[in-house]
């Protein structure tokens, strides 16, 4: 026998299906009808995900309904015919409902799931250049084996750039978990190694990362979703420091973060993405000739500039995340940014030859000087500030070194 109660003079028939579902039966008769597709708790829910949520209401909540509930009747009057009513008790119990449950998180804080079915996503080729880091490469390949992407729809091409360490044991260990190919070449630099990987690529979209990086499980799917939306578009993702306790790695990542904010966030025509987190349509990649092997560093800046100059679009997908485990020492930090300075000179020279000189932007250095303040406090912040000064000195020294060498090469033979 279904209990009845009076709610402000109106008889309300109640039944327990995960809580209170109020239906007026006197003055509201004819306005609201119980959905015949839901005759009781034993019925099959409309969505299979709702199945474990259906349960009867506790007795103490059923007794609570004997008190007048004017709000229940008032809401029921506004429901269209054939709609199930749902009370706050239902929501607290987690009962199934025809309407989607509102989220308590604001829209800007809610991560948007990639909703495209796998059949709509492209076949992808992931190119990983490597040089004498088998342990780091294994960690990278472990991450790539765990991607949330159908195994038959992506391949991984590892390019050994003339390293002394054999990579066969690492590749043989991971090959059963994904489509994995090893390419070897003489030492030619990362740009040439990426081109060698592109030459073997079978996918519509080529994604690049490095051997000391660990892409997150949804990384490739995020990049592929952007490709489906715009098939001529290259997309760069976000790189985060995987070694926050290493001050040299932290300082190096701060420089990248400031560069990304200057180039990729907001309505700017400039784009720059590092090649450890970049996806490019294979047709456009081959059309512009791939990466310039003359660049041992800064090949990413040169590639992005040529891509945009050719009229191809670029976009930033910050949810496509790669964790960069660049384990640096003091000496390694100085060597790395000295080499980056030499690459920066080569890039500036190439841009001048294309009649697109690179402007000097004081705002970058102002933002870089402020970055440690927002990042850390106390002595660690002072240490980061000192390392950023060292970065500037190392980078500038490399730039001047490249300029001096270019003068020596351009001087005619026999001239003092």
Per-residue model confidence as pLDDT tens digits over 261-293: 888 876 656 688 999 999 999 999 999 999 999
Distance CA 351, CA 302 (A): 8
- Which among 205, 200, 122 has a CA at the least distance from the CA of 158? 200
Has residue 61 got a pLDDT over 90? no
* CA-only gyration radius of the chain, Å: 30
DSSP 80: P
Has residue 90 got a pLDDT over 60? no
CATH topology classification for 118-327: Spore Coat Polysaccharide Biosynthesis Protein SpsA; Chain A (3.90.550)
Q: Hey, what are 312's tokens?
A: 């191809």
Has residue 225 got a pLDDT over 60? yes
- Residues in the chain, overall count: 416
Residue 217 near residue 182, CB atoms below 8 Å: no
22-41 mean pLDDT = 38
Q: Hey, what are 85's tokens?
A: 């009513």
CB count, 10 Å around CB of 413?
Answer: 4
Q: Domain coordinates of the chain in residue numbers?
A: 4-34+54-91, 118-327
Query: What's the farthest any 2 CA atoms get from each other in the chain?
Result: 111
CA distances from 305 to 104, 259, 349 (A): 42, 14, 13
Distance CA 340, CA 342 (A): 5
Has residue 12 got a pLDDT over 50? no
Element (H or E) spanning 141, and its range? helix 134-145
Evaluate the CA torsion angle 184, 189, 190, 192 in order and state its sign.
negative
Rounded percentage of the chain residues whose pLDDT exceeds 70: 69
pLDDT confidence band for 70 (50 / 70 / 90): low
Element (H or E) spanning 159, and its range? strand 154-161
Residue 247 near residue 382, CB atoms below 8 Å: no
Q: Hey, what are 224's tokens?
A: 């592929």
Q: Hey, what are 194's tokens?
A: 């990426």
Has residue 2 got a pLDDT over 50? no
Distance CA 137, CA 129 (A): 9
Residue 41 near residue 17, CB atoms below 8 Å: yes
Q: Where are the alpha helices (DSSP H) in 146-218?
A: 168-174, 190-200
Non-local (6+) Cβ contacts of 209 within 8 A are 126, 128, 140, 144, 215, 276, 277, 322
154-179 mean pLDDT = 96
Q: Where are the alpha helices (DSSP H) in 32-98?
A: 59-64, 70-77, 88-93
Q: Hey, what are 413's tokens?
A: 């033979």
Residue 275 near residue 208, CB atoms below 8 Å: yes
Arithmetic mean of pLDDT over the chain = 78
Has residue 193 got a pLDDT over 70? yes
Which neighbouring-strand residues pair with 183? 159
Residue 328 near residue 246, CB atoms below 8 Å: yes
Distance CA 365, CA 197 (A): 36
- Which among 354, 355, 197 has a CA at the least distance from the CA of 291? 197
The b-or-e profile of 131-147 (16+ CB within 10 A means b, else e) is bebbebbbbbbebbeeb
Which residue in this structure is represented by tokens 């926050």? Answer: 244
What interhelical angle do 362-375 and 247-264 show, nearest 10? 130
pLDDT confidence band for 408 (50 / 70 / 90): confident
Which residue in this structure is represented by tokens 């309407």? Answer: 99
* Between 23 and 348, the higher pLDDT residue: 348
Distance CA 43, CA 53 (A): 13
Q: Hey, what are 112's tokens?
A: 């948007």
Non-local (6+) Cβ contacts of 346 within 8 A are 294, 295, 298, 302, 402
Q: What is the pTM of this model?
A: 0.70
Strands 179-185 and 154-161: parallel
At 374 the pLDDT is: 77
Helix, strand, or coil (residue 307): helix
Strands 124-130 and 234-241: unpaired
């Amino acid at each position: 026998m279904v209990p009845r109660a009076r709610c402000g003079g109106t008889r309300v028939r109640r039944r327990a299906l995960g809580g209170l579902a109020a239906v007026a039966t006197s003055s509201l008769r004819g306005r609201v009808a119980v959905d015949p597709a839901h005759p009781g708790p034993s019925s099959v829910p409309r969505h299979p995900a709702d199945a474990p949520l259906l349960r009867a209401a506790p007795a103490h909540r059923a007794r609570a309904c004997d008190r007048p509930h004017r709000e229940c009747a008032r809401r029921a009057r506004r429901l269209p015919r054939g709609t199930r009513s749902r009370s706050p008790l239902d929501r607290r119990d987690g009962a199934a409902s025809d309407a989607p449950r509102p989220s308590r998180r604001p829209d800007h804080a809610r991560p948007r799931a990639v909703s495209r079915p796998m059949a709509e996503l492209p076949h992808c080729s992931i190119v990983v250049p490597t040089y004498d880091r088998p342990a780091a490469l294994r960690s990278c390949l472990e991450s790539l084996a765990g991607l949330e992407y159908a195994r038959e729809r992506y391949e991984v091409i590892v390019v050994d750039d003339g390293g002394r360490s054999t990579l066969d044991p690492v590749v043989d260990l991971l090959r059963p978990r994904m489509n994995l190919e090893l390419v070897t070449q003489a030492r030619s630099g990362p740009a040439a190694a990426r081109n060698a990987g592109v030459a073997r690529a079978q996918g519509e979209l080529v994604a690049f990362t490095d051997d000391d990086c660990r892409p997150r499980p949804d990384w490739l799917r995020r990049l592929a979703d952007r490709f489906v939306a715009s098939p001529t578009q290259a997309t760069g993702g976000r790189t985060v420091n995987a070694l926050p306790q290493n001050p040299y790695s932290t300082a190096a990542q701060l420089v990248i973060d400031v560069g990304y904010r200057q180039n990729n966030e907001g309505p700017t025509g400039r784009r720059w993405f590092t090649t450890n987190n970049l996806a490019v349509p294979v047709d456009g990649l081959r059309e512009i000739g791939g990466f310039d092997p003359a660049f041992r560093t800064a090949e990413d800046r040169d590639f992005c500039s040529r891509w945009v100059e050719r009229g191809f679009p670029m976009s930033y997908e910050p949810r496509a995340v790669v964790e960069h485990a660049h384990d640096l020492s003091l000496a390694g930090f100085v060597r790395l940014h000295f080499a980056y300075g030499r690459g920066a000179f080569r890039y500036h020279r190439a841009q001048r030859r294309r009649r697109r000189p690179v402007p000097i932007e004081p705002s970058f250095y102002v933002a870089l000087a402020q970055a440690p303040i927002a990042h850390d406090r106390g002595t660690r912040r002072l240490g980061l500030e000192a390392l950023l000064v060292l970065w500037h000195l190392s980078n500038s020294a490399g730039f001047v070194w490249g300029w001096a060498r270019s003068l020596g090469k351009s001087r005619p033979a026999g001239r003092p």
